[in-house]
Homo-oligomer: A and B are copies of this chain.
Amino acid sequence: MKRTSLAGDSCPVARALDVFGDWWSLLIIRDASLGRRRFGEFQASLGLAKNILATRLRTLVERGILKTVPASDGSAYQEYVLTPKGHGIFPILVALRQWTEEFDEHPDEIATIMVDRDKGKPVKKLALLSQDGRVLGAADTTLKLRPARKTARRLATA
């Protein structure tokens, strides 16, 4: 009766959710992408129980989203920072943010807007483009079976 795992699922959406799709992980990742690094920072910012935070940090490290590094202030403690795999989650955070900005019933309760660092102007909405540059909506896309990977010819003829 364990929580059902999505790890073996063939759907890439499910596979992503299996890695960080629980109630707290994405918020930890959000905090990490805002520069928070220490256990106590996460705990104070998120207000979650310490045991939960401990297990979440552990599994995020196991799964290659975060890694531990020696503390930047020279103390003997450790800090948690995003790996490249973790930084890759950024577009997902942006998409979540933009959905709330567009559809939330109380947009006045949103505290922040995302701006580009250079000009300080709000960023544009994430755009899905076709290879020839058209903007695509959900209805303009389909799923195709992934073409089979090339098998090693070398073995076939050996």
Q: Say yes or no: is A153 at the interface (Cβ < 8 Å to chain B).
A: no
Tell me which residues across on chain B come within 8 A of A74, comparing CB atoms.
Answer: none
Q: Chain A: interface residue count, which band? A: 35 or more
Contacts of A113 on B, CB cut-off 8 Å? Answer: 143-146
**Chain A binding surface SS class:** mixed
- Interface residue ranges of A1-57 to B (CB < 8 Å): 3-4, 6, 8, 10-17, 21-23, 26-27, 30, 33-34, 47-48
Of B17, B90, B98, B134, which one neighbours A137 at CB under 8 angstroms?
Answer: B90
A129 contacts B138, C-beta separation under 8 Å? no
A108 to B140, CA, bound (A): 25
Give 14 pairs: A residue, B residue, CB < 8 Å, sorted on A. A6-B27, A11-B110, A12-B97, A17-B23, A17-B26, A17-B27, A92-B92, A112-B143, A116-B130, A116-B141, A118-B140, A119-B130, A124-B128, A126-B128
A interface residues, Cβ below 8 angstroms from B: 3-4, 6, 8, 10-17, 21-23, 26-27, 30, 33-34, 47-48, 85, 87-104, 108-124, 126-132, 134, 136-146, 149
